Structure 1
Amino acid sequence: MMRRSTIGGPRTMPRLSRCSFILGSLLLLGGARASSAQPFGHWLSFGPGYPTAHGYVEIPHAAALNPTDRFTFEAWVSLSSATSGEDCRSIAGKGYRQAWWIGVCLESGQPVLRSYLQGEASRRDGGIVPRDVWTHIAVTFDGTTRRHYINGEEAASFTESGPLGTGNAPLRLGSDVSWEHTPTGLIDEVRLWNVARTTGELRGALNTPITSAQPGLVGLWSLNLTTDDSVGGHHGALAGTGPRYDGFPGGIPDCGASTATTLCLNGEFQVQAFWRTNPVPGSPTDGQAQVAGCPNTGSGLFWFFSADNWEVMVKAINGCALNNRNWIFSAATTNVFYRLEVLDVLAGLQKIYFNYPGPPAPAVTDTSAFASCP
């Protein structure tokens, strides 16, 4: 190994030193925080779905559940494919013939986000909802434009005017009084607003738990072992057959050793990343990130395109003594879309972080990531 005695002269660092240097330097990159992440606890599982089973959450009619001037519906879903043709599955609906409905329909072999906001003549399609992958979907209307979002990316927009449709039917999650086609899959963290959430507002809160009333928030159904609305009092009840609460098992004492595609940090946090170059929101990811050859107990690196071109650094920090939380930090040298999934195997909680394509990836400094301290 060549060294020069003068300070600052060229030198070849040992491999572990280079890794440590890069891990530390990456944390200095990025300014604004990336989106914080969804604290998945429990969710509602619908299966096997229509036509084998028909189960749903039914919420009694209330005028507030019919926003007429501005509208936002959002939820996390992980749905299996519809069966054939243009078969559709209901995520939520208040009678699509008169009022509104949000669901997924199979078109040309792709599961596509569909919405009705002004009765049965108001169909709009746009945005691929990946199969069997946790995905945040949203539909908004601001008085002149309806928009579809997939994981915080605008997937489609449609010019139209209000007012929106209304009806006296109950609100159903996983069904609709006019389309009782229950999905096969999972639904979590359902929110209904009487305002049009902007792209920035959706990204800033799509993964952040809401625990109190917010301006414009009509209803929040976390589906965390309850069908109650925690902000608006529009409580629901399970109906039919099939739906049940589910969640990550938790209680696993150690995530084991890091592998070629998965980091195990601090023995508790299992980390994976998936990247995409296709600009179409919801498009399948190009591949799974690979672990670079120098992970340590609390941090590690991923590469996307080649082993000598590292893209993302992730570290887990025990902040229990400071704020009773385990922290997740990451920094990247890329501008492609990626999703970073962190699973706390002991607590059974997951976080999903997104980087959006275009500008350089901002840093993640999530000091509230996991409320899983002893």
Structure 2
Amino acid sequence: MKTTLLFCTFLFLSSLSTVKGQTYTFNMNVTPGNSPSKTETINGVTMTFAANGVNVYSDDFSYLPNIDQNAVGCESGSTSATFTFSSAINITSIVAGLEDTGKILTFTPTGGSNSTVNQSINNFSASIVPLNWKGVTKITITAPSQAYFVFDKIIFSLNTAPAISGTVASQTVNDNSTLLPFSGITTTDADGDNLSATITLDTNAKGILSGAGLSGTGPYTIASTTAANLQATLRALTYNPTDNRTTTSETTTFTIAVNDGTATTSNNTTTVISSAVKPTATITLADNALSIGETSLVTITFSEAVTGFTNADLTIANGTLTSVSSSNGGITWTATFTPTNNIVSATNVISLDKAGVADSAGNTGSEITNSPNYSIDTTSSLITSVAVPPNATYTTSQNLNFTVTFSKNIIVNTTGGVPQIGLTIGSTIRQAVYTSGSGTNALLFSYTVQNGELDTDGITVGNLVTNGGTIKDNATNNATLTLNSVGTTNNVLVNSVTPATHLNFDGVNDYVSINNITTASFTLEAYIKTTTNSPGGVYPYQGVGILDSDVGGPANDFTFTVLNNKLSFWDGNANQNVNGITTVVDGNWHHVAVVRTSGTSIKVYVDGVLDGQVNVAGTAVLNSNSKIYIGSSKTDNRYFNGSIDDVRIWNSARTAEQINASKNCELQGNEASLVSYYKFNQGNDAANNSGITTLTDATSNANNGTLTNLALTGATSNWLAGSPVVTGSTCTTLSTKSFSKSNSIKVYPNPTSDSVTIEASTTDNATVQVSDSTGRILVTKNLSNATNTVDLSQLQQGVYIFKVKTKDGESVTKVVKQ
């Protein structure tokens, strides 16, 4: 009987190559007729067809497309039907039909990792429904409403179990090491199914498996993945056997079960033999080169926790070790090593005998372990001798050298400061500083003698100090700095004192006061040097004083100043001034003079040359002010900034010849009409002259001056050296011919930097002789021309004496070489 049915048929249409192995077909060759279910068995797999709550049929449904003569269906009123399989199969397709209005049927698999399929079936039609499922044990077909189902031809294949190969038995490893137990394993699946794995150790306590993709702590699992991925994961697994489970060895058996979602393949041929290992050790020292006062941390590291380890297991070379202790359960042990004092030893080790040291399984060590070599130098470097400078008198800029010899080579580090040796020169403490010698056993210390130092009974050598630096031997031991075997210095003398020759005034408030003992006619002379521009003005008292005896207002007073950078003199009695025309503010020494001839004239001279004159002069003695101030216009508080030397006061009006004849040399102090004479040859150059506050008058009048406000130390406002008038160069009395000759000879420029020109009115038998301040003759030359040049470029700076001789006499001139 043919019943009108709505049917739907499913058939896998994809290529059969997607499902590995031989394919089979359930053709619905079941018992005809009406029953609760229909079954068919193919190649050992039994299919059972049923519908929800209604009977199923086997009949001829060939009038529907794609349906053979034999098919199964279900009565009207069904909303779902099922196919159940006795074992999992891989289903390619099914033919499904409807004898009803068109509907969408839903095919849901049970088993495997497959997806639900929705298929639209037209009215009174049948379709081949592709499924491509794997590992399926049941198919459930549902419709959105009651329908008549018809099914035919389920094409399927049987599942192939996964395969395992490449396992290795009796692999060996030490119990303190690891290995890859599955490094050669191969996993495959003929059906191309994804695979998962479970790995079981015969005893979990024997060790631990680890690796990427592995879960669990025993048994261990690897989630489903491709066969290739599973194989790679297994090969990368690491096995770490548990330490010290035995004193010999034990075997671990691994059972691996691989599942393709349907079938499971197991293999237990992988075994690992783990052997007990004796504890090993290493010894390290934090410092392998030990010197005086140093210690070193010693670390003994065992391959595993040990017991029974004490200092008795150690042999220590040239030192002592504190008790060993461990803070991490017996693996790492530490102690402090102290080297023996006062020894040098290049080869030393600490040795460990492990025979009494055991791990937790009772395994004891056997071999001896040695530390790396360490060196010891705990001897101090001593100074064996100190060589001092040769016996001599040392002057400015000469070096006092000291060679300090040590018992070992020495390294000097001057980063924090330079080592030095104290010296006493006179009453002053000086320092000879380290110069060279680091890396040898001889260090050089040197001191450069400074100007103004004097020691006439021998310098004294003090102590050697590091001064923030370091003096160490090659082992970094600090050297002992006690000076031993110091050479004798009784005749190592210092004399760098340069006698001063003039006074320097600071232009602020310095001055010297002397008594005014001038007469109606007088001559004032001095040497001055300045670079400071003077005030401008009309009257001399507006300038800065050279020699000042002003009282202010109409009076019998005078002042000799620098005004408008030139000389200027004021006669208060005559109410008259005279101004020079030559600039004297140029940094050179200039001889300046003023001559007052009572009732006749006032003349000023620069470098012996008349520079200004008025034919008017008072007749009164200019002594309204009882004082004369050197270096100051005291009344107007204007002070000279520069140097002054060789001040002379005469109670007569001197001629130009007389001025020129003696301006370049020192007077004897007893010359006629000389009432005050100040050589300024007092104190020492730029030294501490604080005790010299009196300017000495070289005449018998003892008209000494008083220094006021001068610092008397340093290079300004103090006694200084370097004047054009050389100390000790006493003027000789010249004949009239000599004076005449002097007036006919010109020597210039003065000062000079390289050469001097000499002009002479006669050259018959004329010569020039140049000597230094000690009288040593440096140059002798014939004057064969009216104008002659003397080269001084090779001479040092200083004052030189020129003696010019002609047939008429001799002229002496002092020239300053700058």
Task: For residue 41 of structure 1, report the CA deviation from its aligned partner.
Answer: 5.6
Residue type of the partner of 1:117? D
- From 503, 506, 513, give the equivalent of 1:44: 503
Matches within 5 A, 1:248-263: 248=722
- What residue number does 1:350 align with? 799
Give 3-state SS (helix, strand or coil) of 1:201's partner. Answer: helix
Matches within 5 A, 1:113-132: 113-118=567-572, 121-130=575-584, 131-132=586-587
Task: For residue 313 of structure 1, report the CA deviation from its aligned partner.
Answer: 8.6
The answer to whether the 8 Å contact 1:127/1:150 transfers is no
Please give the per-residue CA displacement for 1:176-205, whole angstroms capped at 9, x wherever unaligned: 331321111110000011101001100111
Give 3-state SS (helix, strand or coil) of 1:128's partner. Answer: coil
Give 3-state SS (helix, strand or coil) of 2:625's partner. Answer: coil
Aligned residues: 257
The answer to whether the 8 Å contact 1:341/1:353 transfers is no
- From 149, 168, 186, give the equivalent of 2:643: 186
Matches within 5 A, 1:208-247: 208-225=665-682, 227-231=695-699, 232-242=701-711, 243-247=717-721
Q: Distance in 1 between matches of 2:803 and 2:532?
A: 23
Q: Distance in 1 between matches of 2:525 and 2:696?
A: 17
Task: For residue 334 of structure 1, report the CA deviation from its aligned partner.
Answer: 4.0
- What residue number does 1:256 align with? none
Q: Distance in 2 between matches of 1:152 and 1:100?
A: 21
Give 3-state SS (helix, strand or coil) of 2:636's partner. Answer: coil
Task: For residue 127 of structure 1, report the CA deviation from its aligned partner.
Answer: 3.4
TM-score for the superposition, normalised by structure 1: 0.57
**Does residue 112 of the first structure (1) align with residue 566 of the second (2)?**
yes
- What residue number does 1:66 align with? 518
Residue type of the partner of 1:139? V
Residue type of the partner of 1:126? G
Structure 2 CA distance for partners of 1:162 and 1:133, relative to 1, 3 Å: same
Structure 2 CA distance for partners of 1:224 and 1:121, relative to 1, 3 Å: same
- What residue number does 1:78 align with? 529
Task: For residue 80 of structure 1, report the CA deviation from its aligned partner.
Answer: 1.8
Q: Percent identity of the aligned residues? A: 18
**Does residue 156 of the first structure (1) align with residue 593 of the second (2)?**
no
The answer to whether the 8 Å contact 2:519/2:651 transfers is yes
Q: Which runs of 5+ in 2 are unaligned?
A: 1-498, 683-693, 712-716, 724-746, 760-765
- What residue number does 1:325 align with? 775
Task: For residue 215 of structure 1, report the CA deviation from its aligned partner.
Answer: 1.1
Give 3-state SS (helix, strand or coil) of 1:72's partner. Answer: strand
Residue type of the partner of 2:775? R
Task: For residue 128 of structure 1, report the CA deviation from its aligned partner.
Answer: 1.5
Q: Distance in 2 between matches of 1:94 and 1:353?
A: 36
Q: Distance in 2 between matches of 1:186 and 1:211?
A: 23
- What residue number does 1:204 align with? 661
The answer to whether the 8 Å contact 2:604/2:611 transfers is yes
Q: Distance in 1 between matches of 2:654 and 2:792?
A: 25
**Does residue 101 of the first structure (1) align with residue 556 of the second (2)?**
no
Please give the per-residue CA displacement for 1:315-337, whole angstroms capped at 9, x wherever unaligned: 5469x9xxx7324656653469x
The answer to whether the 8 Å contact 2:669/2:677 transfers is no
Structure 2 CA distance for partners of 1:331 and 1:117, relative to 1, 3 Å: farther
Structure 2 CA distance for partners of 1:96 and 1:124, relative to 1, 3 Å: farther
Structure 2 CA distance for partners of 1:350 and 1:125, relative to 1, 3 Å: same
Structure 2 CA distance for partners of 1:151 and 1:331, relative to 1, 3 Å: farther
Please give the per-residue CA displacement for 1:142-172, whole angstroms capped at 9, x wherever unaligned: 2311111111111121111331432133211
Q: Distance in 2 between matches of 1:162 and 1:339?
A: 45
Task: For residue 76 of structure 1, report the CA deviation from its aligned partner.
Answer: 0.6
Q: Distance in 1 between matches of 2:500 and 2:802?
A: 16
Structure 2 CA distance for partners of 1:233 and 1:132, relative to 1, 3 Å: same
Residue type of the partner of 1:72? T
Please give the per-residue CA displacement for 1:76-121, whole angstroms capped at 9, x wherever unaligned: 1112232554362111111253311111111xxxx11000132593
Q: Distance in 2 between matches of 1:195 and 1:343?
A: 42
Q: Distance in 2 between matches of 1:350 and 1:149?
A: 22
| Higher share in strand | 2
Q: Distance in 1 between matches of 2:710 and 2:798?
A: 27
Q: Distance in 1 between matches of 2:639 and 2:625?
A: 21
Give 3-state SS (helix, strand or coil) of 2:658's partner. Answer: helix
